[in-house]
Amino acid sequence: MQASSFVYCLLLVSLCIDFSQNEPSAVPRKQRRRMRNGGAGKGSTAQRRSLRQPRMKLPAPVAVAPSIPLINIDDGVMGVFDSLIGLGGHESSYSVLPAFYFFFLGKKGQCTANGMIMFDKAVWSPKPCVTCLCSKGEVICDTAMCHPLKCPKTIIPAGECCPVCSDTASSLDSNIISLDDITELSGDSPAPNDLDNPNVLPSAHTQTEKDELLRTEVVEFKDKDVHRKDEKKRRRKGKKNRHKYKVYQKEKRPITRKDEERRLSFEEEDLQLQKEEIKKREEIRTRERDTEEEQYESDEDDGTFGMPSRFPIPIPPIEAPPLPSGCSTSESTVSCINAKLTQIPPITDPDLTSLDLTGNIITTISDEAFNGIPNLEWIDLSKNNITSSGIGSHAFKILKKLKRLYLDGNMLVHIPSRLPSTLEEIKINDNQLHAIDEDALQDLKNLVTLELEGNKLSEANVSPLAFYPLKSLSYLRLGRNKFRIIPQGLPTTLEELYLENNQIEEVSEICFNHTRNINVIVLKHNKLEEHRIAPLAWINQENLESIDLSYNKLYHVPSYLPKSLLHLVLIGNQIERIPGYVFGHMKPGLEYLYLSFNKLTDDGVDPVSFFGAYHSLRELFLDHNELKSVPFGIEEMRKLRFLRLNNNKIRTVPPERICRSHPDDVNDNSEEDENEDSRLEHVHLENNYINTRQLSPHAFSCIRSYCSVVLKPQKSK
């Protein structure tokens, strides 16, 4: 009897296998969606009884398994277990088989779960959203992933594993509608037949949007997890460092320099960890902002007008760092005079037009020094320690409105390159400039004033073409250098030239051939002699009005002076003589003649020495000479206002030597009398040998007030 029962069972098993091989492999679409959600459907409620298992990755489905008939002891067929369907529409080889079936197949690879014996390849669901597999004696479980929802409030319906929006759950019966039927959670598009089913909810987003949301959540989760781990690591390390330092303190010994260095190293390491943490936070925020921008752009491309998934975090405006101590601001000017700055402060103010950094210890000007203040018009960097190598090649490139640049009192050996073409004034006095090549001043077509005093320039290291690009230059200062001759190639637009304190010995005929607009020439404190001044050097200049030849080696007033001359300064020479008619060719005539501190004597001044200046001279300085009497011709100077004869050897003042006597036939209302009454205003005769008691009452009759005549003190015999 037992043998027959055993044979009967074998026949039934073989019959089941044959029957399963003939079954169609198609599985309803609804079941495929259920298995993609990890068996989260309502039909799996009988399998949700065991505890939650850790989430693990299931092996990829590889083979097709048939549906297995379930047979009871009474030889009756109870039903068929459908095989699990894998992602992508492929059938899985995982099956749930009755224990008595595996009894005949053997016990190899069986598993035990909650008191139940599960054989190799067996699949079951111990609780919602959890699917387990018996693989070679080991239990492998996996938890189903739920898609994120955008609704403000979510709930988990009874018998389901994934949350749904509360509004949807309240409007639909959770006992009738299963999450297996919701296309949004399954990831599939609804079938045509499902669209007619009122129990199927339409998808709120496309598959691309859902994948992007899922990817974003995974990235955020990973970043936050890394951040938590780094935070714990930093705290542990900081606590360890502080503990080490406390140990040193508990030893009850004086803290040595080595201990202090160790403590500082601990603090520095802790600070470094904090900086790294802040940097990681910024990276996470940047990544979140980029993800939100991409999502927002994709919504615009799809033609939707909905709000983004989350509001972007507002970025506070970047505040400019405060000005250093010692700096002040007023309207559009920042002043940092003598503030002990070592670099140009980082200022961000597009409205700033003036920057004064005089008297600091700045050594360099980087390419980015003025990036925050591009509208500067005036910069004063005088009295610093700036070197030519410390100025970036593009330091001034961004300053498109710069007009004035002051670099006096630094350590420059070359004129900075690539200066803005808008510059109108440059001062590089008291530096160490030792060369100006032909490209040093290129593109400065708007430059009006150039000051290069107190350097090491000479005709040997200044190119004749150096000033050629300066098409608007009118004011040039080259004093306190080492020039022996007038520099060549002066701009044609030049109006004022200052060459004081050089070693100039000669003024040639061609020096000023192209400077037809020159108005002022200053050559004081040089080594000029009158015979080294060429006769045609400047006599034909029609606009030259002022020449300063003070403190040279002149022995008499130079001849061949420009006919347009108004101011002649000859102070501090060795002049002994004023040649006759030396001013006779001048028109409209000389107005200011300064001959102080020379060696003029009575024989050196002829009666016609001032011829040509009688009707034009306004100021005459003859002080600090060797005159023994008032020179002839002063009484003829009808416009003279200021006369200096002090510090000479004059002993008397004849009545008609300064003021002309009134003739009897002259009408009192005549213009001549009016001019006589308004002549001299100031006369200096002190420090001579004049006996004031013996002066004639008519000696100063033409002067408005006797208070304007200075006679004291006088020298004694």
Higher pLDDT, 396 or 109: 396
In this predicted structure, the answer to whether residue 702 has a pLDDT above a threshold of 90 is no
Q: What phi, psi does 240 have (nearest 5°)?
A: -65, -45
Token output for 171: 């409007």
Q: What phi, psi does 464 have (nearest 5°)?
A: -60, -20
**CB neighbourhood size of 251 (10 A):** 9
Question: How high is the pLDDT of residue 519?
Answer: 97
In this predicted structure, the answer to whether residue 524 has a pLDDT above a threshold of 60 is yes
Higher pLDDT, 225 or 132: 132
Cα angle, residue 238 at apex, residues 236 and 243 outer, rounded to 5°: 95
Q: What SS3 state is found at 592? A: strand
**CB neighbourhood size of 257 (10 A):** 7
- Shortest CA distance to 487 belongs to which of 517, 516, 519, 521? 521
In this predicted structure, the answer to whether residue 1 has a pLDDT above a threshold of 70 is no
Mean pLDDT of the region 215-235: 59
- Compute the 3-state secondary structure of the chain and give helix, strand, coil in percent, each to the nearest 5: 25, 15, 60
492 to each of 455, 476, 515, 594, how far by Cα in Å?
24, 12, 5, 29
Higher pLDDT, 224 or 534: 534
**468: DSSP letter:** T
Lookup result for tokens 């520095």: 268
578 to each of 594, 601, 625, 688, how far by Cα in Å?
12, 10, 13, 22
pLDDT digits (tens, 9 = 90+) for 134-191: 887 788 887 777 767 767 777 777 667 777 776 544 444 444 334 344 333 334 434 4
Question: How high is the pLDDT of residue 81?
Answer: 36
Token output for 437: 């090549």
Q: What is the CATH number of domain 325-432?
A: 3.80.10.10
Helices then strands, counting H and E runs in the chain, come out as 10, 26
Span of 199-203, 568-572, 575-579 with lowest mean pLDDT:
199-203
User: How far apart are the C-alpha atoms of 389 and 168, rounded to whole Å?
Assistant: 73
- Helix orientation angle between 207-250 and 257-301, rounded to the nearest 10 degrees: 170
Cis previous bond, 198, omega within 30: no
Q: What SS3 state is found at 365? A: strand
Question: How high is the pLDDT of residue 92?
Answer: 40
86 to each of 1, 26, 35, 61, how far by Cα in Å?
44, 13, 7, 6
Cis previous bond, 148, omega within 30: no
Mean pLDDT of all residues belonging to the chain:
75
Span of 220-224, 355-359, 382-386, 463-467 with lowest mean pLDDT:
220-224
Q: Find residue 684's DSSP bridge partners.
A: 644, 710
In this predicted structure, the answer to whether residue 667 has a pLDDT above a threshold of 70 is no
Domain boundaries, the chain: 2-143, 154-195, 207-301, 325-432
Cα-Cα-Cα-Cα dihedral sign, residues 514, 518, 524, 528: positive
The whole-model pTM stands at 0.57
User: How far apart are the C-alpha atoms of 549 and 532, rounded to whole Å?
Assistant: 13
Question: How high is the pLDDT of residue 611?
Answer: 93
Question: How high is the pLDDT of residue 704?
Answer: 77
Mean pLDDT of the region 273-278: 78
User: How far apart are the C-alpha atoms of 341 and 384, rounded to whole Å?
Assistant: 9
Q: Maximum CA pair distance of the chain?
A: 183
Which pLDDT band holds residue 123 (cuts at 50, 70, 90)?
A: confident
In this predicted structure, the answer to whether residue 577 has a pLDDT above a threshold of 80 is yes
Question: How high is the pLDDT of residue 640?
Answer: 92
Question: How high is the pLDDT of residue 655?
Answer: 85
- Shortest CA distance to 477 belongs to which of 492, 495, 489, 493? 495
pLDDT digits (tens, 9 = 90+) for 25-69: 444 444 444 444 444 444 444 344 443 444 444 444 444 344 434
Span of 213-222, 474-483, 595-604 with lowest mean pLDDT:
213-222
- β 404-406/378-380 pair status: parallel
User: How far apart are the C-alpha atoms of 288 and 312, rounded to whole Å?
Assistant: 9
In this predicted structure, the answer to whether residue 351 has a pLDDT above a threshold of 70 is yes
Mean pLDDT of the region 643-670: 75
Higher pLDDT, 152 or 97: 152
Which pLDDT band holds residue 688 (cuts at 50, 70, 90)?
A: very high
Span of 74-78, 373-377, 382-386, 595-599 with lowest mean pLDDT:
74-78
Which pLDDT band holds residue 235 (cuts at 50, 70, 90)?
A: low
Question: How high is the pLDDT of residue 323?
Answer: 85
Higher pLDDT, 474 or 35: 474
What is the C-alpha R_g of the chain? 53
In this predicted structure, the answer to whether residue 652 has a pLDDT above a threshold of 80 is yes
627 to each of 125, 386, 467, 529, 569, how far by Cα in Å?
130, 53, 46, 23, 19
Mean pLDDT of the region 244-271: 63
Higher pLDDT, 288 or 177: 288
User: How far apart are the C-alpha atoms of 612 and 358, rounded to whole Å?
Assistant: 50
Residue 207 corresponds to which amino acid?
A: Q
What is the rounded end-to-end Cα distance, in angstroms, of the chain? Answer: 173
| 190 contacts 203 by C-beta, under 8 angstroms | yes
User: How far apart are the C-alpha atoms of 698 and 695, rounded to whole Å?
Assistant: 8
Question: How high is the pLDDT of residue 488?
Answer: 92
